[in-house]
Amino acid sequence: MKRIIPQPLPSRNDAHAGLPPRSLQGELTPGRLIRSILRSVPLLLLGAWLALLPTQSASAMPEFARRYNLSCAACHSAFPRLNKFGEVFIKNNMRLPNWMETADQLGDDRLALPDHVPLAIRAQAYVQARQGKAIDPVSGARQSATTDFQSPYLLKLLSSAPLSKDITYYFYAIMAEKGGNGEIVVEDAWFRHANLFGSGIGMMLGQFSLSDAMFPREIRLPFQDYMVYRMAGITYDRGVQFDRDVGPFGITLGFTNGNGITDNFKINGTGYSRPDRMFDNDNSKTTFAHVGTDIGPVAVGLFGASGKQRGAAGPAGMDKSRRNTDKRVAGLDASGDVGADAHWYAQYLWNSWNGFLDADPTRNYRWNGGFAGLDWIPNERWAFSALYNYAGAGDFARTNTIYEGIAINSLSLTASHYFMRNVKGIVEVNIDFLNKTKPTGPYFTGHLSSENYILFGFDTAF
């Protein structure tokens, strides 16, 4: 990969240098955190109460449920988590064999227009009390909000439909994600052919997340992310992915541009701009592969990726280098069930970013991390989740760059209450086990503030 910027790390734009340091306000003690939460309780309760009322008559259901006249329970053990049939459905190109019956009957067997525009919406709104701060790595200016209404946190418009015997498309666009009002971001957007040249090989072309070959982030139950995927920069990219089952093994092989999903460049080699754009700006492509199999009751997989990424330069490593540097990722994943109601999963990733920092381009930076989680779904009303995230900064420690912030050690505990199959309220507590550190140099990098939080909110799809 050519350029991977771990998204959770603060960027220069996050800072407001003109604001006074928030350290003047003093540290947030656990007592203050609790009080701030309790001060919000009446509002939270009012919100919860209001949100409960309309669900009595709600009959919303996502697009696939509408298309196939099936309950959400057919594919989800607890929205958005998939059950076994849901996974089969995804593997089957998100179609059931009777998909043609769901198309408009136009008397043309070469035309399968969906009988309605296949749209669905996912929406999330939260209120959060947290200790984490936004800290400018250069000036040290701090911004913090112990309570934060994160509403809407996400508005997502999704669409998918089978278009032919073998081809399905899927895309979604996010509006106002995480407060980014005025932006629309397209993440997953691909066509998939289920049986290329009759070979049994599936091919996906478009934008997708490399990490989906292991544990798709969008179907997790906790609010907290699978952080190591973001830190390793193996989320969204543009490329092609092939998959096929070979005996007991499920094999995925893919190639991506390696520069994410936002770059595009004018083509003006003749000295006059052409209307087309380049999405990639060099010949290096990232190659990735995943091999999965079942060993008894445990599903295990091996992941590997190799490519180029732009190095880091400038103050605290916040700027993109002009150099392409080598990047390798290796991973091991495992998952399984505990009885009928509980499911566990675990991921380990090893990363080698060679010559990544312009400050010392001869040095190779290795770090590793992972996560482990347990979902317990005792009944149709409740789901409980625990997610442990860990990553060590490894060779980035004491580099006085923002990459010291790769370090994480936290446990997120989540309770989800399902008012309806597609409407849930969640409460999540994140416990940060890392001690706060002091800057290792002139820049304000490292684990400078604790990341404990408690969050309430709603998550729905219809």
Partner 1 sequence: MPARRLPTRSWAHAGATVLLLAASASAHAQALQVGTLRIESTPSAAEVELIGGKAGVTPLTVSERDIYPNSYPDTRAALYGTVTLRHAGCDPLRHRVTLDDLKQDLHLRLDCVAATTTPAPPPTTPAATPAAATAATRVPPAPPSTMPQRRLRQLQVLQELLDEGLISPAEEQRVRRKILQLSIGTDD
**Site residues for partner 1 per CB under 8 A:** 26, 29-32, 34-35, 38, 41-42, 45, 48-49, 52, 55-56, 61, 65, 68-71, 73-74, 77, 83-85, 88, 91-92, 96-98, 337, 340, 377, 380-381, 417, 419-421
Residue closer to partner 1 by CB (options 25, 181) is 25
Nearest residue (CB) to partner 1, 73 versus 302:
73
Residue 65 or 402: the one with the smaller Cβ distance to partner 1 is 65
Q: Strand 286-295 vs strand 236-246: parallel, antiparallel, or unpaired?
A: unpaired
Bond prior to 80 in cis (omega within 30° of 0): yes
With left for phi above 0 and alpha for psi between -120 and 50, is residue 287 left, alpha or beta? beta
| Minimum separation from the CB atom of position 151 to partner 1 (A) | 19
**430 contacts 411 by C-beta, under 8 angstroms:** yes
Cβ-contact 204, 229 below 8 angstroms = no
What burial class does residue 408 get, using C-beta atoms within 10 Å of its C-beta: 0-12 exposed, 13-18 middle, 19+ buried? Answer: buried
How far apart are alpha carbons 160 and 170 in whole angstroms? Answer: 4
Q: Rank residues 96 and 334 by Cβ distance to partner 1 and give the closer one.
A: 96
- Long-range Cβ contacts of 175-181 (<8 Å, 24+ apart): 176/152, 177/153, 178/150, 178/153, 178/154, 179/150, 179/153
Residue in the structure block whose two tokens are 């939080």? 453
Q: Which is nearer to partner 1, 200 or 441 (CB)?
A: 200
Nearer CB in complex with partner 1: 16/417: 417
Residue 375 C-beta: closest distance to partner 1, Å:
11
Which residues contact residue 391 at a Cβ distance below 8 angstroms, ignoring those fewer than 6 apart?
227, 228, 231, 367, 368, 369, 370, 406, 407, 408, 409
CB of 241 to partner 1, least distance (A): 19
Token look-up 């960027």 returns 11
Give me 285's structure tokens: 């492509």
For β-strands 147-162 and 76-78, DSSP reports them as unpaired
Distance of closest approach, residue 371 Cβ to partner 1, in angstroms: 22
In whole angstroms, what is the distance from residue 461 CA to residue 164 CA? Answer: 26
* Complex with partner 1: residue 350 or 462, whichever CB lies closer: 462
State both tokens at 394: 């490894």
Closest approach of partner 1 to the CB of residue 61, in Å: 7
